[in-house]
A and B are shown apart, each in its own frame.
Chain A
Amino acid sequence: MSERRDDHEDERLRRALHAAHEGEAAPPFAALVDKRPRRRRTMLLAPLAVAGALAAVLLLWPRPAPTPPRIELSSLQLSSRGPLDFLLHMPDDKLLTQTPRFDGKGDWP
């Protein structure tokens, strides 16, 4: 009894599924097989894409930085002159760089 009911329900579902597909004729097989436009477009674009990727890699490839020219230490001349350096200079600083010498006359050298 239950089996028969199941069979009846299955038959009902079978009819329903067939109704869902009703009126949907397949397009001609050849139309789908012969078209294949995407493949051809891909075939054309693939080499271009590869070339572009290669160029990008070459451009972005990390190259070693150029080595800076070697400078001999002996050739360096260091000097600095600041705008306020004059304040460090005292008038008549000769007195500070030489030892005063007193002769018999009592004059400054």
Chain B
Amino acid sequence: MKGRPVLIDRALTSELAELHPASFAWALACCGFERQEAEDVLQTTYEKILDGRARFDGRSSLKTWLFAVVRHTAADLRRRRLVASLGLERLFASLVRAEPDEPAVGSEERAKVRAALARLSRRQREVLDLVFYHDFTVEEAARIMNVSVGSARVHYQRGKQRLQEELR
């Protein structure tokens, strides 16, 4: 009885391991490039999957489904942190952290792009990251973001336009 879940678990674990670098990059994008937060999100995502709380139903590719779980987990974590920080101290800290003009660590180009991305709406950032970094189509991005394809297209077009202006 216990053998089968272990086998499934192993197969799933190896697939998750293969997708891990891409998943982490996506978690980073969902968390505004906050590394610690991205690690928390990804760890919670793996927990959900390996404990069976999130199940892959095969209606999309494993990567699309995994990215949707990561996105959902990041949104959930953000909501919970917001509620927990209603004592205002952490909320204030997170708002300060979200400031786009924060002095960036790393290369100048990276800092510039991150600052520009921070000025976009969350959905615009997400769709651009999925399309231009992870090479998803807009349709796949819509599935991950749980929005209609039409809505994803609007976010994609406006996001592109805005990012081009910001980087000019």
Interface positions of A (Cβ within 8 A of B)? 9-10, 12-14, 16-27, 29, 32-33, 35-36, 38-39
Cross-chain pairs A/B with CB under 8 angstroms, 19 sampled: A10-B132, A16-B113, A17-B128, A20-B29, A20-B133, A21-B133, A22-B109, A22-B110, A23-B106, A24-B24, A25-B21, A26-B20, A27-B39, A32-B39, A32-B46, A35-B43, A36-B46, A38-B44, A39-B47
Whether the pair A23, B17 counts as a contact (CB closer than 8 A) is no
Whether the pair B13, A33 counts as a contact (CB closer than 8 A) is yes
The answer to whether the Cβ of B142 comes within 8 Å of any Cβ in the partner chain is no
Contact of B33 among A9, A13, A16, A24 (CB under 8 A): A24
Measured between beta carbons, the chain B residues less than 8 angstroms from A36 are 43, 46-47
Measured between beta carbons, the chain B residues less than 8 angstroms from A10 are 132, 160
B161 shortest CB reach to chain A, Å: 10
B120 shortest CB reach to chain A, Å: 11
CB neighbors of A among B8-42 (8 A): 13, 16-17, 20-21, 23-25, 28-29, 33, 35, 39, 42
Whether the pair A13, B128 counts as a contact (CB closer than 8 A) is yes
Measured between beta carbons, the chain A residues less than 8 angstroms from B20 are 26, 29
| Chain B window 41-71, contacts with chain A (Cβ cutoff 8 Å), 1 for yes, 0 for no | 0111011001100000000000000000000
The total of Cβ contacts below 8 Å across the A-B interface reads 81
Whether the pair B129, A26 counts as a contact (CB closer than 8 A) is no
Max chain B CB contacts within 10 Å: which of A20, A26, A29? Answer: A20
Whether the pair B43, A23 counts as a contact (CB closer than 8 A) is no
Measured between beta carbons, the chain B residues less than 8 angstroms from A12 are 164, 167
B151 shortest CB reach to chain A, Å: 20
Whether the pair A29, B16 counts as a contact (CB closer than 8 A) is yes
Measured between beta carbons, the chain B residues less than 8 angstroms from A26 are 20-21, 23-25
